[in-house]
Amino acid sequence: MSINRPVNIGLIGAGRIGSFHAQSVARRLVDANLVAIADPAPGAAEKLAAELGAPNAYTSLSELLANRDIEGVVIATPARFHTNIVVEAAEAGKAVFCEKPMALTLEDADRAIAAARAGKVPLQVGFNRRWDQAFAEGRAAIDDGKIGSPQLIRSLTRDPGPFDADPAKIPQWTIFYETLIHDFDTLLWLNPGAKPVEVTAVADALVRPDFADKGFHDTAVVTVRFDNGSIAVAEANFCAMYGYDIRGEVFGSGGMVTMGDVRRSSMTLFDKNGVSNDTWRRDTDHFVHGYTAQLAAFVEAIRTGEVTGPTGEDARNALAIALACVGSVSERKTVKLIN
């Protein structure tokens, strides 16, 4: 399939990240049209569609999928709905971009992958760090052999504080399924060709210790061993008071690459109070290029039928580590992965 005109996109889910993706399609991509938005919350789709000039707004997913003008959908609903929507969209013949995580069980991941394969539609998953310039250049250096064989790999996510969410409303294991899932994909991507063989995880409620006995986790450290001998560490915390901190590092037999910086730029202020830097405070500011680039790649996948970004299989591989983390924390043991 090759399409020369702008591609028609429908958005499913008009929340925070969905609204940002809608803005990207409508205002940042020159070769895509935002033609429809669906959200079950009364007025949510209509309001966002009016702001962005999208001609169609629905409260029903089936109505959006029945729109024959739509060639691809961007799924940005709560995670528990992702798999069923991927399947319905694929069965309707729509190309699919799904926010992470694509699924919460391996069975659902397989179901989503199979639906896309049966429908012969592209399936891309939203691991936006791959599109960040620093991370992309780090992977290129690894591919070029500039650091030798990877030995130690690190990825971290520290969300900006203060933490003001209600822990009672956060699904259990969110720190693995929705936060560290990015880091798991990053570790796999920065160690090309290697497979994880065992996972050890520890987690606790250090930001909100009053919710520790309710199964809430806001802090975690994960160790992953790979079949090429390399060892990786991922860590997350929900409250970095100094800003939104996303970093990666790969140390190898011949050198090292580091990626990411909490500082907004290399500008440093020197004044009567000392030395200071402004820091990133929102993911949509830090990764605006990455978020846009991944949707541009999705549009190209619709044009060509070839997915160059993270696939359903990539999402399944990251999920396998997340599930192993849940088992490791629950049973206080190292979990071996079956490849």
pLDDT tens sequence for the chain (339 residues)? 556 789 999 999 999 999 999 999 999 999 999 999 999 999 999 999 999 999 999 999 999 999 999 999 999 999 999 999 999 999 999 999 999 999 999 999 999 999 999 999 999 999 999 999 999 999 999 999 999 999 999 999 999 999 999 999 999 999 999 999 999 999 999 999 999 999 999 999 999 999 999 999 999 999 999 999 999 999 999 999 999 999 999 999 999 999 999 999 989 999 899 999 999 998 888 888 999 999 999 999 999 999 999 999 999 999 999 999 999 999 999 999 986
3-state percent helix, strand, coil for the chain, nearest multiple of 5: 40, 25, 35
pLDDT for residue 3:
66
CA angle 169, 171, 175 (to 5 degrees): 115
* Cβ 316 vs Cβ 125: under 8 Å: no
Q: For the chain, give the longest Cα–Cα distance.
A: 64
C-alpha–C-alpha distance, residues 80 and 48, integer Å? 23
Whole-number Cα distances in Å, 158 to 28, 84, 124, 155, 219:
27, 30, 25, 10, 9
CA distances for 25 relative to 54, 140, 199, angstroms: 10, 27, 38
Domains and CATH numbers, the chain: 7-128+290-310 (3.40.50.720), 130-286+318-336 (3.30.360.10)
- Beta strand 219-226 with 231-240 is antiparallel
